[in-house]
Each structure stands twice: as C-alpha cells, then as structure tokens.
C-alpha cells in the first residue's frame, strides 16, 4: 500500500518552461490536494478536488492549473514557471474534505525555477 505517490521528486526548470507534477493515491480517497511549502510560510493550499470531477482554488492558485484525471490521480501544472514558484510541493488526499477526515501526504516534490 503506497499511499500518496508524487513525481518527480526533484526538478529544475528554467523560467518560462512548463511542467506537470503527477500525484496518485491508492486509498480510494475522494478528496485530493496540492500544497506548496516555503521557508517560514508553512503549507499553503494551491488547489483541491473535493471529489472526482471537481476542482477548487485554494489560498494561492495563481500560476497553477490542476486536473483531476480520475479518482486516483490529481496533477498540478505550471504553464510558465517563475522563480517565485521555487518551492516544495506536496500532494495529499483524504476520504473527504470535511471535518473528521485525516489528510495523508506524499513525500514532496522539490522544484527549483532558475
């Protein structure tokens, strides 16, 4: 049982390049999330998908797009990467996004934009 798996683990991009972070969970969870973590800023919610077929903006959605491909997979795309998007990105999932549901996190993807 792998839990939440995200790829790639490390990536270096040039400004203006695009890339997609992939995420999959094998816990049959309904809800999935993308967070970014910067030093001193904690975890900030980028986008979430409460259930298959829906996506919603979180705290910091600008510069990102997401796709809930199916119940298992939730991808995060940077169309034109900027240095400000250098961060550690975490994908997560939970049975539901409402109260009482623990969020399970992947191991993180370290992205550097130069």
Partner 1 sequence: GESVGLHLPTLSVQEGDNSIINCAYSNSASDYFIWYKQESGKGPQFIIDIRSNMDKRQGQRVTVLLNKTVKHLSLQIAATQPGDSAVYFCAEPIIFGKGTRLHILP
The reply on whether position 69 binds partner 1 by CB under 8 A is no
Choose among 27, 55, 47: nearest CA to 91.
Answer: 47
Judge contact between 33 and 15, C-beta under 8 A.
Answer: no
Judged by CB under 8 A, does residue 90 bind partner 1? yes
d(CA 102, CA 114): 35
**Chain residues 20-49 in contact with partner 1, contact rule CB under 8 A:** 33, 35, 40-45, 48
Compute the distance between CA of residue 73 and CA of residue 23 in angstroms, rounded to an integer.
Answer: 6
Taking CB under 8 A as the rule, does residue 79 contact partner 1?
no
Q: What are phi and psi of 75, to 5 degrees?
A: -105, 155
Q: CB 20: neighbour CB atoms within 10 A?
A: 15
Nearer to partner 1 by Cβ, of 14 and 39: the residue is: 39
Number of residues lying near partner 1 (CB under 8 A): 24
Check residue 92 for interaction with partner 1 (CB under 8 A): yes
In sequence order, the β-bridge partners of residue 89 are: 36, 109
Residue 79 or 107 having the CB closest to partner 1: 107
Using the rule CB under 8 A, give the single segment among 12-20, 60-68, 72-80, 93-101 that binds partner 1: 93-101
State yes or no: cis peptide before 8, omega within 30 of 0: yes
Interface with partner 1 (CB under 8 A), residue from 1, 10, 62, 100: 100
Binding residues vs partner 1 (CB under 8 A): 4, 33, 35, 40-45, 48, 59, 90, 92, 97, 99-108
């Amino acid at each position: 049982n792998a839990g939440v798996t995200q790829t790639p683990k490390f990536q270096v991009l040039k400004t203006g390049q695009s890339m997609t972070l992939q995420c999959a969970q094998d816990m049959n969870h309904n809800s999935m999330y993308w967070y970014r973590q910067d030093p001193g800023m904690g975890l900030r919610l980028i986008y979430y998908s409460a259930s298959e077929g829906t996506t919603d903006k979180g705290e910091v959605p600008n510069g990102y797009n997401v796709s809930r491909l199916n119940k298992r997979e939730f991808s995060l795309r940077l169309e034109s990467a900027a240095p400000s998007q250098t961060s550690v990105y975490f994908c997560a999932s939970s049975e539901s996004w409402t109260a009482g549901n623990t969020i399970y996190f992947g191991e993180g993807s370290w992205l550097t934009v130069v």
